[in-house]
Amino acid sequence: MKQPILKIKNMHKTFPGVYALKGVEFDIFPGEVHALVGENGAGKSTLIKIMSGVYDFSEGEYEIEGKSANIQNPLDAINKGLSVIYQELNLVGSLSVAENVYFGRLPAKNGQVKWKELYSETKRYLEMVGLNVDPRLKVQYLSVAQQQLVEIAKAISLNSKVIIMDEPTSALSPKEIEYLFKVIRELSASSVGIVYVSHKLSEIFELSNRITVFRDGQRVGTVNTGDVGEQHLIMMMVGRELADMFPKHTPAIGDVMLDVKDLTTEKVSDITFNIRKGEIVGFSGLMGAGRTELTMALFGVDRHIRGTITIDGKKLAGASPNEARKSGLGLVPENRKEGGIFPGLSVLKNMTIVSLSYFTSGIHIHTGAERKSVQDMINSISIRTPSMEQLVSKLSGGNQQKVLLARWLLKKDLKLLIIDEPTRGIDVGAKAEIYEIMVKLADQGLSILMVSSELPELLGVCDRIYVMKNGRITGEFNKSEASEELLLEKAIH
Amino acid sequence: MPLNKRLENGSVSGLLTKMMRSEIFVLLIALVLLCVIVSCLSPVFLTTRNIMTTLRQVSLTAICGFGLTLIILVGEIDLSVGSAQAVAGLVMVLVLNSTGSIVLGIITALLVGAVYGAINGILVTAGKLNSLIATLGTMAIWRGACMVTTNAVSIQSTVPQFQELATGFVGPFPNALLMAVAVYIALYYMLNKTTFGRYLYAIGGNQEAARLSGLPVARMKVIVYIISGMLTMFAGVLLSSRMASAQPTAGTGFEMVVIASIILGGVSLSGGIGTIAGALLGMLILGVLQNGLTLLDVSSFWQDITRGLLIIIAVFLDARRKDSVVKRLLREQKKQEGSEQAAL
């Protein structure tokens, strides 16, 4: 048996408060395509960043060609034959293709760049990946697929022995994907090891020799691609009993609560959809598909160019967050720290900030009534805090998220709650609790719009799912017909 | 010793460290120490007359300073308060001299104050200008306007009773002190017991979160500027009353003194953190210091230097405070995580 180029043994990595990798094993042989799969937060990115020298690891062994890798920084990793092509490509748009390929190592003599050599060498590498563009062209004029090929050409020019590709096809058309696969096969034929990270199982089965599955920071297993079927792989990935994670929601769905027609802002176009009473509706899509921008449009943060929003039969007058709040909308935004909590205020003051009118007569706030409502809410959704006077910034992420939910739940005339990434940065236990709260609320008749990048979460909680791409809605699925593959397909094509 | 025992048991130590950590407590100690030092150096300091003079002086600063505290709490600033005071005096004395009515003069000055506040507020919210720059501009404009209308000459009040307004007494207490106390009580209530106060702290603490919670951020800011504008003008009226004249140069450099004392009092320049009690203590400390220096015959040039040093110290403490809050939070978070992991 050949020696692996790269070998990782019993790797542990902790971040403050999070166990990101627990005793992970991974290796890659020359000429092999090794797929790395797992849900968001399973630890794939952490492993990539350790391999490429972005992160240090807490414990374990990392070998390159049998010797301890001892990688100090990303540049060191490149010198030791490791290239990473990230999902968001790492090229400088305002520089030429050649300058990008030779970034930081332009051929020079006496401080003068040898342009001729630079262009001819670049040309040679571009031909290897079959990219027929002028090396002098600025990268910003290339398509994403072409930019990816530039990255690959760069990796080849660096004599990389291992190329790690993170979701390389997420922005490519089928034809471009086909071409990329051809290039990958040629690379592996010339003994380069490819680590291929992807959500798309069909690609993995088509391309890879072996598959390693990660879940919750641990390696579930490594299998030969020929030995497993798709069902088995999904089971390995999802693992935990989804039924336990997601509470059962039998929607008692009523009349239309939110009706949006042709809503257009600078960032989203012609958005038409509805949410009924007691319904949980999800929005899926890739990063930058316009989902958060849609919540901003609904909540009146972004200016409307045209379109109407009707809530409970009443048309929303102006577009302002204040107006949206008065009409019965609530928003739990994507970034808890920046847009959600008031870090210098107590749990109590954070919770009642949008519902003070219920505790006020004249201008006087009755703190007794306020405290009672807050205590009831803390009990009912079990927020773990030593007291309601505790600064909210001292709570854990999951409890902060509950405080933000509570903030809107205290508003008795709330009709629609918009939750953007309800469980981002929250541990598994708290996640299940948040789902439970959401489902309970829907059962009580609240309409919920949730945006999420985690497909299992959308599939587990939502009654209906819309898919967005480029600021537009591209698909709509009922719970019964939706699947990860369908959602992804609509998000990409 | 029972106290020692109680300290060991932790029943007192918790309260004690809490008090030590409380900035109000630290400020109070600083104020008392300062008073002790000054009274040792000057026998005049502790006379009723001097105490009342100092309090009257601080009251004038405080009436304007309380308004400015609201502005800083909401995350903005107003550098034009000094110039605005000169405008207030001018408006007051002009109306007074032509109508003979003190009440009419005050009302006019307050109205001008509301307009002046609204202009600042609108520039900052609708105009999206940085408040530091915007009010730096209005500061120059107001001062210039005063100079132009008066030709840089002061205008005497022709109504002798006018001087009574700021220098008069009710029983043993100066009028100005009673007015400042009234303003303090009103604002204390508003900050702590009303929706206005909650919104103010929320907006100052995290403006983005306030906006995304649908709070009326712009409206609140304009209202705060209007309140502060009226209080500033009122303080300006009192200032002109004390001098029985409108001085076009009145309040020059005043903004820096007030801002410094507010920050010294624990109100964070970045907004959302601080109390009106702290601001008051900051102003008292600065007032006593100034009074002490005058009693000790320190030249006014040295007083300027001392004030400058105090501003630097205040801002330094503000930065340190933020630093230590962050560090404390990190420490506690780590502790919490440690225990969570142990629980796992």
DSSP string, A59-87: EEEEEETTEE----SHHHHHHTTEEEE-S
Pairwise CB contact (< 8 Å): A338 & B336: no
Contacts of residue A344 in chain B, CB cutoff 8 Å? 201, 205-206, 272-273
Instruction: Tell me the two tokens of residue B56.
Output: 């009257």
Where helices occur in A308-366 by DSSP H, the ranges are: 321-326, 347-352
pLDDT category of residue B322 using cuts at 50, 70 and 90 = low
Contact B214 A363 (CB under 8 A): no
Which of A342, A359, A403 is best to mutate for the B interface (most B CBs within 10 A)?
A: A342
Contact call for A344 and B205, based on CB within 8 A: yes
pLDDT (average), residues B201-213: 94
Interface test with B, best of A12, A311, A353, A354 (most B CBs within 10 A): A353
* Most confident among A71-85, A170-184, A472-486, B197-211 (mean pLDDT): B197-211
Closest CA of chain A from B302, distance in Å? 38
Lowest mean pLDDT among A249-258, A438-447, A454-463: A249-258
- State which residue of chain A sits closest to B342, comparing Cα positions: A17
Report CA dihedral (B214, B278, B262, B86) to the nearest 10 degrees. 90
- Check pLDDT > 80 for residue A207: yes
The domains located in chain A, with CATH, are 6-239 (3.40.50.300), 244-492 (3.40.50.300)
Cβ neighbours of residue A264 closer than 8 Å, sequence gap 6 or more: A270, A271, A304, A305, A306, A307
Residue A66, Cβ density class (10 Å: 0-12 exposed, 13-18 middle, ≥19 buried): exposed
User: Pick the residue with more confidence: A57 or B111?
Assistant: B111
State the nearest Cα–Cα gap between A348 and chain B, in angstroms: 11
> Chain B residues with CB inside 8 Å of A396's CB?
336, 340
Confidence of residue A241 (pLDDT cuts 50, 70, 90): low
- CB count in 10 Å sphere of residue B313: 13
- Tell me whether residues B193 and A339 touch, CB distance under 8 A: no
Q: Min CA distance, B324 vs chain A (Å)?
A: 14
Of B195, B205, B332, the CB nearest to A394: B332
φ, ψ (nearest 5 deg) of residue B271: 95, 160
Q: Which of A299, A324, A342 sits opposite B206 (nearest CB)?
A: A342
The stretch B38-55 carries a mean pLDDT of 90
Residues in chain A within 8 Å Cβ distance of B198? 349, 352-353, 356, 365
Nearest CA to CA, how far is B196 from chain A (Å)? 8
Say yes or no to pLDDT of B9 above 50: no
Distance from the B220 Cα atom to the nearest Cα atom in chain A, whole angstroms: 12
Expressed in angstroms, the distance from the first to the final Cα of chain A is: 41
**CA-nearest residue of chain B to A411?**
B213
- Give me the percent of chain A exceeding a pLDDT of 70: 95
Nearest Cα to A417, choosing from A437, A397, A398?
A: A437
A303 lies within 8 A of chain B by CB: no
Q: Which of A344, A349, A367 sits opposite B273 (nearest CB)?
A: A344
φ/ψ of residue A327, rounded to 5: -85, 0
Q: Which amino acid, one-letter code, is at B147?
A: M
3-state secondary structure of A191: coil
Q: Do A364 and B208 touch (CB under 8 A)?
A: no
Mean pLDDT, rounded, for B195-210: 94
Question: Where is pLDDT greater, at A426 or B322?
Answer: A426
ipTM associated with this complex: 0.83
For residue B213, the distance in angstroms to the closest alpha carbon of chain A comes to 7
Write out residues 318-337 of A within 8 Å (CB-CB) of B: 321-326, 329, 331, 333
Predicted local confidence at residue A427, as pLDDT: 64
Residue of chain A whose Cα is closest to the Cα of B217: A322
Distance from CA of A325 to the nearest CA of B (A): 6
Contact check, Cβ <8 Å, B205/A342: yes
Q: State the pLDDT at residue A1.
A: 52
The whole-number average pLDDT for the span B269-285 is: 91
- A141 to chain B, any CB pair closer than 8 A? The answer is no
Average pLDDT, integer, range A470-475: 88
Q: In Å, how far is B1's CA from the nearest CA of chain A? A: 33
Rounded to the nearest integer, the mean pLDDT of chain B is 86
pLDDT the model gives residue A375: 93
User: Rounded to an integer, what distance in angstroms lies between the CA atom of residue A276 and that of residue A263?
Assistant: 18
∠ Cα A272 A278 A279 (to 5°): 45
Q: Pick the residue of B212, B269, B335 with the most A CBs within 10 A to test the interface with A by mutation.
A: B212
Contact between B212 and A340 using a beta-carbon 8 Å cutoff:
yes
How does residue B5 score in pLDDT terms, banded at 50, 70 and 90? Answer: very low
pLDDT class of A295 with cuts at 50, 70, 90: very high
Residues of chain A contacting B210 with CB distance shorter than 8 Å: 342
CB A287 within 8 A of CB A453: yes
The rounded percent of chain A whose pLDDT value lies above 90 is: 35
Task: Please answer whether residues A420 and A451 qualify as being in contact, where contact means their C-beta atoms are separated by less than 8 angstroms.
Answer: yes
Task: With cut-offs at 50, 70 and 90, classify the pLDDT of residue A18.
Answer: low
How many CB pairs below 8 Å do chains A and B form together? 95
B231 burial level (CB within 10 Å; 0-12, 13-18, 19+): buried
Reported as a single tens digit per residue, the pLDDT across A153-206 is 998 899 899 999 988 887 677 778 888 899 899 999 999 999 999 877 788 899
Chain B residues in contact with A323 by the CB 8 A cut-off are 214
DSSP readout, B130-156? Answer: -HHHHHHHHHHHHHHHHHHHHTT--EE
Question: What radius of gyration do chain B's Cα atoms show?
Answer: 22
pLDDT confidence tier of residue A444, bands split at 50, 70 and 90:
confident
Nearest-angstrom CA–CA distance, A444 and A159: 61
Residues B209, A337: Cα–Cα separation, whole Å: 8
Residue A89: its H or E element: none
pLDDT at position B228 is 96
Classify residue A288 as left (phi > 0), alpha (psi -120 to 50) or beta.
Answer: left
* Of B202, B211, B272, Cβ closest to residue A353: B202
Cα dihedral across residues B315, B318, B322, B323: positive or negative: positive
* Stronger pLDDT, B128 or A88, i.e. the higher one: B128
pLDDT in tens, B219-247: 999 999 999 999 999 999 999 999 999 99
Q: Mean pLDDT across chain A, nearest whole number?
A: 87
pLDDT of residue A429: 66
Nearest-neighbour CA in chain B from A351: distance (Å): 11
- Provide the 3-class DSSP secondary structure of residue A452: coil
Q: Do A331 and B214 touch (CB under 8 A)?
A: yes
- Cα of A355 to nearest chain B Cα, Å: 10
Average pLDDT score over residue span A100-124: 89
- Give me the long-range contacts of A387-390 (CB less than 8 A, separation at least 24): A387/A347, A388/A346, A388/A347, A388/A348, A388/A351, A389/A346, A389/A347, A389/A348, A390/A346, A390/A347
A387 touches chain B (CB under 8 A): no
Closest CA to A62 of A4, A8, A3, A22: A8
Q: Which residue of A321, A333, A356 is in closest CB contact with B195?
A: A356
CB atoms A17 and B214 under 8 Å: no
Q: Which of B194, B213, B334 to mutate to test the interface with A (most CBs of A within 10 A)?
A: B213
